[in-house]
Structure 1
Amino acid sequence: MDNRLFSLSHFDAEEGRLVLAADGLDFDNTETYLEAFCQLIGASVSDKQTDADLHSWLVNFEGMRFMLKGEHYSASVWLEKLDADGDDELAFLHGWLSKLLS
Structure 2
Amino acid sequence: MDIEFNGKIWYWRGPAPWFFVTVPEAQSRDLKAISSAVTYGWGVIPVHVQIGNTEWKTSLFPKEDLYLVPIRANVRKAENLAEDDEVTVLLQVQL
Q: Give the TM-score range, shorter chain.
A: 0.3 to 0.5
- Which one has a larger percent strand, Structure 1 or Structure 2? 2
TM-score of the two chains, using structure 2 as the length reference: 0.44
TM-score of the two chains, using structure 1 as the length reference: 0.42
